[in-house]
């Protein structure tokens, strides 16, 4: 096999998550840092999920991505931010069966092809961005042999879409808003796993699969700029969150 002919691929599946205490409003739009902590429950990957395949080959001359079979631009800052963060942490990879050896430094010049499918309506309010960016970061981390743990990966997924950080764990998940200016401590942690509340059933009724008229980014920006109540909401949510955590904790202990 000629050196240029090989392709190395990884496929992953990631579920979406539904907020119990909702993330709404950013304090930093570039790093995607929220104004409040949030909690969500991750859905069963057999139901609503994203499947993403990432591939690398010396024959690829640029990074490209297809979403639900249609090519999309990777130009938007969010995709580039995730790719940059992951490439900077990439490690050596060796596939002895295929005779492929990629060194850490090679990742800076190798290009990627990414194909992703959502098995539920995209951009319609069912958190496709959460499942999508979590799956993108997870599959790339596997391909490039990152050593980071799930919470550290969640801080990268967050830079694609805030709520994506919570989709890297099952069960009930908290996104800690964090204090650091660079966002390094704004990440997700698992509160209890998917076995914790086994008989919990979430029914999702899709009333429309059409793309929503106001994207979450625009909606949040308008709330931050114009709502006098948003700061109060963030504070009230903090109190509810504390209660919620106690409840989950006490169920867990029982
Ligand atoms: P939703 O409520 O479905 O999250 P958003 O408008 O917040 O709607 O986000 C939709 C955007 O998320 C899409 O336009 C696309 O940029 C991104 N997205 C959706 N699915 C994926 C995916 N599987 N992989 C990568 N990005 C995705």
Closest CA to 166 of 131, 218, 128: 131
**Taking CB atoms and a 6 Å cutoff, what residues make up the pocket around ligand 1?**
50, 67, 116, 118, 122-129, 132-133, 136, 215-216
Q: Tell me, yes or no, whether 148 lies in a domain.
A: yes
* Ligand 1 atom with least separation from CA of 68: 23
Ligand 1 pocket test, pick from 45, 65, 122, 131 with the greatest ligand atom count within 8 Å of Cβ, gives: 122
Structure confidence by residue, pLDDT tens digits, 167-213: 999 999 999 999 999 999 999 999 999 999 888 999 988 888 888 88
Does residue 186 lie in a domain region?
Answer: yes
1 part of a folded domain: no
pTM across the whole model: 0.92
In a domain, 2, yes or no: no
Is residue 21 situated within a structural domain? yes
Structural domains of the chain, count: 1
Task: Give the model confidence (pLDDT) of 122-132 as tens digits.
Answer: 988 899 999 99
| Containing structural domain, residue 155 | 8-252
What is the CA(161)–ligand 1 centre distance, in A?
8
- Segment 129-143 mean pLDDT: 98
Q: Using alpha carbons, list the distances in angstroms from residue 53 to 97, 136, 161.
A: 20, 8, 19
Residue nearest to atom 4 of ligand 1 (CA): 127
Its sign, for the CA torsion 57, 59, 64, 69, is: negative
195 assigned to some structural domain? yes
Could you read off the pLDDT of 209-253 as tens digits, one per residue?
A: 888 888 888 999 999 999 988 888 877 766 776 676 666 655 544
- Residue whose Cα lies nearest atom 17 of ligand 1: it is 129
Structure tokens at 201: 């059933």
All residues at 6 or more sequence positions from 83 whose CB lies less than 8 Å from its CB, including other chains:
63, 74, 112, 140
Ligand 1, atom 18, residue with closest C-alpha: 129
**CA 120 vs CA 23, 46, 124: distances in Å:** 21, 11, 9
Nearest residue (by CA) to ligand 1, atom 25, is 132
Q: CATH number, domain at 38?
A: 3.30.230.10
Q: How far apart are CA 247 and CA 17, in angstroms?
A: 20
Check whether 2 has a pLDDT greater than 80: no
Give residue 87's Cα distance to chain centre. Answer: 16
Q: Does some domain include residue 3? A: no
Q: Give the burial class of 18: count Cβ atoms within 10 A of its Cβ; 0-12 exposed, 13-18 middle, 19 or more buried.
A: middle
Whether 121 is covered by a domain: the verdict is yes
């Amino acid at each position: 096999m000629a050196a240029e002919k090989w392709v190395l691929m990884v496929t992953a599946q990631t579920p979406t998550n539904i907020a119990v205490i909702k993330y709404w409003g950013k304090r930093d739009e570039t790093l995607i840092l929220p104004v409040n902590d949030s909690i969500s429950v991750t859905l069963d990957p057999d139901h609503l999920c994203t499947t993403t395949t990432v591939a690398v080959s010396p024959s690829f001359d640029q990074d490209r991505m297809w979403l639900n079979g249609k090519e999309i631009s990777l130009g938007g800052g969010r995709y580039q931010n995730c790719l940059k963060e992951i490439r900077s942490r990439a490690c050596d990879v060796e596939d002895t069966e295929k005779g492929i050896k990629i060194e850490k430094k090679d990742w800076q010049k190798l290009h990627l092809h990414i194909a992703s499918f959502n098995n539920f309506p995209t951009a319609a309010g069912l958190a496709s961005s959460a499942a999508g960016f979590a799956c993108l970061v997870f599959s790339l981390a596997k391909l490039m042999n990152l050593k980071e743990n799930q919470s550290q990966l969640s801080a990268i997924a967050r830079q694609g879409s805030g709520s994506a950080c919570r989709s890297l764990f099952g069960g009930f998940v908290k996104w800690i808003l964090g204090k650091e200016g660079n966002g390094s401590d704004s990440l997700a942690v698992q509160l209890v796993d998917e076995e914790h509340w086994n008989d919990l059933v979430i029914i999702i009724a899709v009333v429309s699969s059409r793309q929503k008229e106001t994207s979450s980014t625009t909606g949040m920006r308008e709330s931050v700029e114009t709502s006098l109540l948003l700061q109060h909401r963030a504070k009230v949510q903090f109190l509810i969150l504390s209660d919620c955590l106690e409840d989950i904790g006490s169920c867990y202990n029982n």
